[in-house]
Amino acid sequence: MASAWSAIFTFCFVWVAVYLFLRFLHAIWTVTEHFNWALSPAYRSRHKRGVADLALDRAAKLMGWGATVALPVGTVSLLAALFQ
């Protein structure tokens, strides 16, 4: 049973780590887009969001909802594995 708790904890930890990495990439992407727009000498109206930006945003939202579940489950499984 301890190996099952350990596997659940590892899965949850990896899920949250990937989510945080994805949010970091999304923040870098957003700052880069804003910075490039600010340096542009020509006025451009608000541009449409690209396919990659929309996909990254959708994936980040999905991973965020999963992380809200994975964090408490991972914490409980770690405690269950430690105190078994």
- DSSP assignments along 49-76, one per residue: PPHHHHHHHHHHHHHHHHHHHHHHHHHH
Please tell me the predicted confidence (pLDDT) of residue 62.
Answer: 87
pLDDT of the residue at 57: 78
What averages of pLDDT result for each successive group of 10 residues across the chain (84 residues)?
A: 84 89 83 67 60 80 87 89 84
- For the chain, the helix, strand and coil percentages under 3-state DSSP, each to the nearest 5: 85, 0, 15
Q: What is the pLDDT of residue 40?
A: 58
Closest Cα partner for 70 from 5, 3, 8, 2?
8
